[in-house]
Amino acid sequence: MKINNFEINEGSPVFIIAELSANHNGSLDNAIETIRAAKRAGADCIKLQTYTADTITIDSDKDDFLIKGTIWEGKNLYKLYKEAYTPWEWHAEIFDIAKKEGLICFSSPFDKTAVDFLEDLNTPAYKIASFEITDIPLIEYVASKGKPIIISTGIAELADIELAIDACKRVGNYDIALLKCTSSYPAPIEEANMCMIKDLAERFGVISGLSDHTMGATVPIVATCFGAKIIEKHFILDRSIGGPDASFSMNEEEFTAMVKAVREAESAIGKVDYNLTEKQAKGKDFSRSLYIVEDMKEGDILTEKNVRSIRPGFGLHPKYLKDILGKTVVRNVEKGERLLIEIIG
């Protein structure tokens, strides 16, 4: 997968997305400064959500449309999305500023009109939000644009993921990534199930990653170690400004620390390699080897009393100890001399 000039594959760095979502809190200036802060924090990408309250739901106070069991308890869906949406007239400027800051910018569309709008902005990729994974017609339409498509799996069962993948492939789009996601806000760390990262990649033959709503950097670090190549976190200038997503979003300081931890985790993972670096090889100086531990005269017999396996590692390998016992030395040797082949008769 390639988004603009960023290669996302097994050998690439993790692609780190700062999710703007509702964290502009209704202010374009906040949105712009959030983009700049995300760049300072080490993000590779800023991601938007492209909808209006009318494209995502209807204005109804019927029980079905009232939110229950979340931090948005009691609100109706329409009012929440009317508060949270990013005005479409901001998008072009946000895309432009992101580009100037050196950040990739793309969005999650929530209906076909949003897709058409984002196509006009030449979006380099698309994200399907967790709750839209069952909207197969939308996924087909997004995938038909031929751009990389990243799909969150927060509310998905196996069959839902299979349907979404099939929808993409049906229109010839195989440029797919799946993100493990726990759709709780904030998400309990014990429900993260990071072992899914590897399974998603192997089961579906795609790039896998994490869309994270836990607090802190622990889950992104673990995800990296399980092979995640994309990590998405909600990003906010300051939680004190409030807003629908503030309570589970990272500020600049926290996001910076997370990026640093992820990059260190990547570095620590390394590769399978049994060869030693020059520095590691130098450490063998402190390994065990065979040394003369008593003064000996020419013709004396080597025994467990006068030769031992000790540190440092400049003498004969300890594996030869049994082979050399009972043999003689060909010259006088002093305590502390390396036992080498040339002094054994």
Name the packing angle between helices 112-120 and 88-101 (round to 10°). 40
What class is the 278-343 domain? alpha beta
Q: Does the pLDDT at position 71 exceed 90? A: no
Contact 331, 342 (CB under 8 A): no
pLDDT at residue 74, as a whole number: 80
- Which residue ranges does the chain devote to CATH 3.90.1210.10? 278-343
Helix (H, G, I), strand (E, B) or coil at 260: helix
Contact 257, 271 (CB under 8 A): no
pLDDT band, residue 251 (cuts 50/70/90)? very high
pLDDT at residue 50, as a whole number: 98
pLDDT at residue 117, as a whole number: 98
Model confidence over 181-218: pLDDT tens digits? 987 778 889 999 999 999 999 999 999 999 998 989 99
Name the packing angle between helices 158-170 and 136-143 (round to 10°). 40
Query: What integer is the mean pLDDT of 137-160?
Result: 97
- Which residue ranges does the chain devote to CATH 3.20.20.70? 9-269
pLDDT at residue 11, as a whole number: 87
Contact 15, 229 (CB under 8 A): yes
Single out the residue of 292, 290, 303 nearest to residue 334, CA to CA. 292
pLDDT at residue 92, as a whole number: 98
Q: What residues contact residue 29 under an 8 Å CB cut-off, 6+ apart? A: none
Query: What integer is the mean pLDDT of 321-332?
Result: 97
- Percent of the chain at pLDDT > 70 equals 100
pLDDT at residue 6, as a whole number: 97
Least confident of 38-42, 72-76, 141-145, 330-334: 72-76
pTM of the model: 0.88
β-pairing, 289-292 vs 230-234, is unpaired
Just give the CATH number of 9-269: 3.20.20.70
pLDDT at residue 91, as a whole number: 98
Model confidence over 96-121: pLDDT tens digits? 999 999 999 999 999 999 999 999 99
Contact 127, 62 (CB under 8 A): no
Model confidence over 262-284: pLDDT tens digits? 999 999 998 889 998 888 889 88
Structure tokens at 261: 């931890």
Quote the distance between the C-alpha of residue 184 and its chain's center.
19
Query: What integer is the mean pLDDT of 318-331?
Result: 97
Mean pLDDT over the full length of the chain? 95
Q: Does the pLDDT at position 137 exceed 80? A: yes
3-state SS track over 38-84: HHHHCCCEEEEEECCHHHHCCCCCCHHHECCCCCCCCCEHHHHHHHH
Q: What are phi and psi of 308, to 5 degrees?
A: -140, 160
- 25/31 Cα distance (integer angstroms): 8
Amino acid at 130: S
- 17/40 Cα distance (integer angstroms): 13
Within 13 A of 327's CA, how many CA atoms are on the CB side? Answer: 17
Single out the residue of 87, 81, 150 nearest to residue 117, CA to CA. 87
Contact 170, 146 (CB under 8 A): no
Query: What integer is the mean pLDDT of 20-30?
Result: 94
